[in-house]
Amino acid sequence: MRLVAIVFMSLAWMFVLGLTLWCFAKLMKADPSKEHLPPPGTSL
Amino acid sequence: MSEHAQRRERWGSRIGLILAMAGNAVGLGNFLRFPRQAVANGGGTFMIPYFIAFILVGIPLMWIEWGIGRRGGQHGHGSLPGQFDVLWKHPVAKYLGVMGLFNTLVVLIYYCYIESWTLAWTFFSLRGDMRGLDEQGMKHFLYSYQNLSDPSVHATWVPFAFFFVTLLVNFWIVGKGISAGIEKLAKIGMPILFVFAAILVVRVLTLGPHEVVVNGVAQTASPADGLNFMYTPEWAALAKPAVWLAAAGQIFFTLSVGMGSLSAYASYLKKDDDIALSGLATAATNETAEVVLGGSLAIPAIVTFFGVGSAIAIARAGGFDLGFISMPLVFNRLPGGVPIAAAAGFMWFSLLFVAGITSSVAMATPALSFMEENFGWTRRNAVLVVAALAVGIGLFHVIYYQRGFLDEWDYWAGTFGLVVCALFEVIIFVWLFGPRNAWAEITQGAQMRIPPFFRFVLTWVTPLFLLVLMGWWTVQDAIPTLLMKGKPEAEIPVRWASRAVMFGILVAQLWLIGLAWRRRKAQGRV
């Protein structure tokens, strides 16, 4: 692969994967009380 | 909060909500449209306007739709007519919201037909029906399916059967409701989609060099050549407005904004549920599916087996040729013979089917919510009526596909209608509801800090971008499409009939909105 193609592909992948991982890491750290689960016994 | 709003169904979990939202966004376009757009618009250079459009149009519109939906849901509205009415107290507001019903219903009907092809090809792959076919054979295999007057490969009833099964599965899922139907589908379907796509990407990228014949000269090609082709920048492309608009258009389609389905899903949130981080996570998940998986599959595989020249021709021929002709040809040539070809075909078409169905169930949601909330229908009755409508009208797509019936719907509702709807959303939510209120709505319950720069983007940049996009498309495409320039004479009556049916749907929906509000007024609910 050409170096310039590698650079473009790496930057594109790093941006989307980085953003996705950052979002999900932040979601995991979020206060569980903010998660509005259905009341116990509610069938999904 | 109204009594009806309190009785509304809710999402079971946040991960379920995000997967359902991402499932709504991830569709056939991530795997079939994106690689073609990238190749046709400057390769690596396309990524620059693409990501700029993602930040300036995609993410803001995602937040706007979530904001509109959550706000409307507090007042018991799961579709845009009611949601617009909540934001802008003007008699016209609800009628502008018709775009959220029109786009979703129209696209749902023809999208299910395309989705049924992926189901059919999953079945054909498992049966090995495409084994040993060359390019002409593969084309004939697809075109015979699309053209009912040519039963040489597929019996006439086959496309109808797969279409009915697809609609049945779709409406069975939406009939089960938000949490037990749509959320469950997303929790099962989305991991399958990502796993199948990841397996195929690894298989494609680990292929060795193959000999391809270009203009009678034998050359070797590898997946690296395909990635070179995808990502090597053409700097001159950055100076072309068409490239910037193509990038903005791709962002628009891929995130499913301007449809009315994201706001329908968001209406099942509670007042303080986060939308900032969840909306961003949805957009980011979609981009991963598109750039990392979609961008590494079709083009590198096709370049490896057919060379760059053929890949350009295939990309120009359209997404369906790429997905339904070229990819099965690639699978037939994979090392490992018949079982590997069958397994790869099964994974490719079933991932497309999952990408399709997680989007189509979202498109069914606004119409069902509208009938339930405004006319007091049960979910079951609403599902039966919308399903009957989809079957009845969908038959025209199956019968007249090759005469442009579907093309008209895809352009007026699935392309132009989305920009019109998005423009209405931005104007009503940001300008008429007020920039301060819009910002407060988006940041309420936020579990991330949205950079203040986005306030300016939401207020000025996104609407301006949409206006330019709409103006460009009107001049470039809408006028020639309206005048049917270059269309064969034989297609013109069918295309007019197609427009008449669409217009009929629009008028019927406007009438229903008027009726619903008169009913609400009589019941003291307005």
Residues of B434-453 as b/e, b for ≥16 C-beta within 10 angstroms? Answer: eeeebbebbbbbbbbebeee
Q: Which of B51, B232, B280 sits opposite A23 (nearest CB)?
A: B280
* Residue of chain A nearest B277, judged by CA positions: A23
pLDDT at residue A43 in the model:
44
Better-predicted residue by pLDDT, B513 or A40: B513
Residue A35 has pLDDT above 60, yes or no: no
CB-facing half-sphere around the CA of B430: CA atoms within 13 A: 22
Residues of B341-371 as b/e, b for ≥16 C-beta within 10 angstroms? Answer: bbbbbbbbbbbbbbbbbbbbbbbbbbbbbbb
> Is the CA virtual torsion B505, B30, B297, B232 positive or negative?
positive
pLDDT at residue A34 in the model:
55
A36 pLDDT tier (thresholds 50, 70, 90): low
CB B328 within 8 A of CB B148: no
pLDDT at residue B273 in the model:
93
CB B60 within 8 A of CB B462: yes
- What is the Cα B316 distance to its own chain's centre? 20
Q: Chain A contact for B278, CB < 8 A?
A: yes
Q: Which of A23, A34, A36 sits opposite B10 (nearest CB)?
A: A36
Contact A20 B284 (CB under 8 A): yes
Closest chain A C-alpha to B66 CA, distance in angstroms: 16
Collect the ranges in chain B with pLDDT lower than 70. 1-7
* Residue of chain A nearest B284, judged by CA positions: A20
Closest chain A C-alpha to B485 CA, distance in angstroms: 38
SS3 content of chain B, % helix, strand, coil (to 5): 80, 0, 20
Q: How many angstroms separate the Cα of B108 from the Cα of each of B94, B219, B345, B406, B435?
A: 21, 44, 25, 12, 32
Q: How many angstroms separate the Cα of A17 from the Cα of each of A24, B206, B284, B336?
A: 11, 21, 8, 32
SS3 content of chain A, % helix, strand, coil (to 5): 70, 0, 30
> DSSP letter string over B180-243?
IIIIHHHHHHHHHHHHHHHHHHHHHHT---EEEEETTEEEEE-HHHHHHHHHSB-GGGGG-HHH
pLDDT at residue A44 in the model:
43
Helices (H) and strands (E) in chain A, counts: 1, 0
Instruction: For residue B129, give the DSSP letter.
Output: T
Kindly report, residue by residue over B145-168, the tens digit of the pLDDT: 998 888 889 999 999 999 999 999
pLDDT at residue B501 in the model:
98
pLDDT at residue A33 in the model:
56
pLDDT at residue B313 in the model:
84
pLDDT at residue B24 in the model:
95
Direct distance between the N- and C-terminal alpha carbons of chain A, in angstroms, rounded to an integer: 49
Contact B292 A17 (CB under 8 A): yes
Chain A partners within 8 Å of B12 (Cβ): 37-38, 42, 44
As to burial, measured by CB atoms within 10 angstroms (0-12 exposed, 13-18 middle, 19+ buried), residue B101 is: buried
Q: Chain A contact for B299, CB < 8 A?
A: no
